[in-house]
Amino acid sequence: MPHPYQAILLIAFGGPTCPEEIRPFLARVTQGIPIPAARLEEVAHHYEAVGGKSPLNEITLRQAKALKNVLNDRVPIYVGMRNASPFFTEALKQMADDGIKRALGFILSSHRTEASWERYQENIADARAALGNPAPQVDYCEGWHDDPLFIQTWTELIEAAMHEIEPDQRAATPLILTAHSLPTAMAARSPYVQQLEVSARLIAAKLNHRRWSLAYQSRSGNPSDPWLEPDIQQTIREVAANGHQHIVVAPIGFVCDHVEVLYDLDIEAKQVAADLRMNLIRAGCPNDHPTFIRMMADVIHTQLENTEGRG
């Protein structure tokens, strides 16, 4: 029997696509979370500093298009986002209108936390309930933080960044692998840190690069609450104190460009490094890099094969 799925649903965070969307977007993202208005305004200015929008939506649509090409139109691909159009309700309605009864969801988040995987699944369950009877059933692909093609993607991206450094200096250049910080209490309830450590070790081993460490970035919330550390800025200062001229930063916790990468790393962290007379080189994000798209296709193929005959 063939597999039971009639479509693939790519599940992403979403971002504002123009300056007018920034503050409504931030209001949606932080709904129910006690964040001071001054902090939200600060983040709004971060979006303004990187062009008044996030490229995340556009990149996710490019990922969908590239994936469709690799899968050879085997199944149609839809995109649903938590915080921007097409919202999950819009995507599910379109799928229902197109006659889709059962879909396979691919969560575009490389490391599991309740803020990503669990909440995405809850949000989609809520959207299905709101839509009622015609809403398609959605199952989910397994995680892929240690998938060989995910590791290969980051290896290629980091090698490209290292090529900006003189060959005789590359081995000694510190490599900092980063991910979004979380409150430690939230992190303790998920495999997030363990999965990041596995990814980091596998990437460093594949690169055969010994001078590496894992750091966290983009923390928010109450300054007195404990969050995952070390912070990227502190790590940069420690690297500078050891006399290094260059540092390569790879945001392995992010699958595509967003404000955390374009502002927190490309502007803030680069400025910290420049003030310490260091050159910070940021590795590109997976985005629609061909190896990353191959990985997505591979994960989906595996899931489809594993469910063939179980329809």
Which residues of the chain are under the pLDDT cut of 50? 1
Q: Which residues, 6+ apart, have CB-to-CB distance to 167 below 8 Å? A: none
pLDDT tens digits for 66-100?
999 999 867 899 999 999 999 999 999 999 999 99
pLDDT at 311: 54
Query: What pLDDT is stored for residue 1 in this prediction?
Result: 46
Domain boundaries, the chain: 7-144+289-307, 148-282
Q: What is the DSSP string of 171-223?
A: TTS-EEEEEE--BHHHHHTSSHHHHHHHHHHHHHHHHT--SEEEEEE---S-T
Which residues fall within 8 angstroms of residue 234, CB to CB, at 6 or more apart?
215
Choose the CATH number for 7-144+289-307 among 3.40.50.300, 3.40.50.970, 3.40.50.1400, 3.40.50.1370: 3.40.50.1400
pLDDT in tens, 261-306: 999 999 999 999 999 999 999 999 999 999 999 999 999 999 988 8
CATH 3.30.565.10 is right for the domain spanning 148-282: no
Decide whether 7-144+289-307 matches 148-282 in CATH topology: yes
pLDDT at 95: 98
Q: What angle do CA 226, 228, 232 make, to 5 degrees?
A: 120
